[in-house]
Amino acid sequence: MKATAEIGVIGGSKFYDLFEESKQFCINTPFGAPSDKISILDSFGKKIAFIPRHGKNHQLIPQLINYKANLWALRSLGVKKIMGVSMAGSLKKNIVPGDFVICDDLVNFTNARLDTFCDYSKRIHMSMEDVYCPELRKRVVDIVSSFQINYHTKATVVVINGPHFSTKAESNFFINNGWDIINMTQYPECYLAKELNMCYVSLSLITDYALGVKDVEEFSLERIIRECECSRKKLKNIVYDFIENVSIEQNECECKNTSIKATQFLTHKNHDLYDV
């Protein structure tokens, strides 16, 4: 059975109940299997594909996620636009746990992650002036601003390898550089999406403060879990609005004109796919 989708959502395993009425598919890619089965749902007249980034049972730590397979699978289904939903820590006092952040820049502090589809025969140098699609960011900002929530639209995320949190010295280094939030999974999703000419936007829910943020309350793991649970409904409503209000047509942006062309790489058109 051939499946198709137009909009992709990559998120935590707790989003599975957003797609309870979906049909699930296994997709084999040239880079191995994605994190889990892909759920495809008809919603608001659009076909939506969802991948649980860490797997349905949250079995994959950040550096073991097959980011290339996840992005390739979405692109091979026909996805043009992606929202990547993630949890993040705050590096600034004014970005409070429970706030939402739509980042506009990124600093990579991971190592050894497979972050390109290029090989030695297909060398490119891709501009990362806009890490996230500016047109899709504007649309998400409009959606988030319609909710009674605190949000931030200008922020740089520093991405660390995980699965452990930063040391005090590392956190102080990130804070002193003026970066805003910290996360373990936003890289290389956005790079890989850009290589495949897909528009990508990130939405982060702040769960705690990083070490070294002055004059703030320290958060235990139990408190972080409670913060996540309290904000789940808000997060889901934002994703629903994103699905309803984002056009399936390609944006008037540069995402479709990057120096790499997806058609060069999507030679695996008859991908192995079966419903389960």
Whether 139 has a pLDDT exceeding 60, the answer reads yes
Distance CA 78, CA 80 (A): 6
- Fill in the amino acid letter for 23: K
Encode pLDDT of 55-101 as tens digits.
988 889 999 999 999 999 999 999 999 999 998 999 999 999 889 99
Residue 156 confidence (pLDDT): 98
Share of the chain above pLDDT 90, in %: 63
Domains of the chain (ranges plus CATH)? 7-275 (3.40.50.1580)
Which of the four pLDDT bands, split at 50, 70 and 90, describes residue 117? Answer: confident
**For helices 221-245 and 134-145, angle between their N-to-C axes, nearest 10 degrees:** 110
Distance CA 128, CA 138 (A): 18
Q: And the tokens for 175?
A: 């804070």
Residue 270 confidence (pLDDT): 40
Quote the pTM value: 0.89
Share of the chain above pLDDT 70, in %: 86
Residue 232 confidence (pLDDT): 78
Whether 22 has a pLDDT exceeding 60, the answer reads yes
Residue 261 confidence (pLDDT): 52
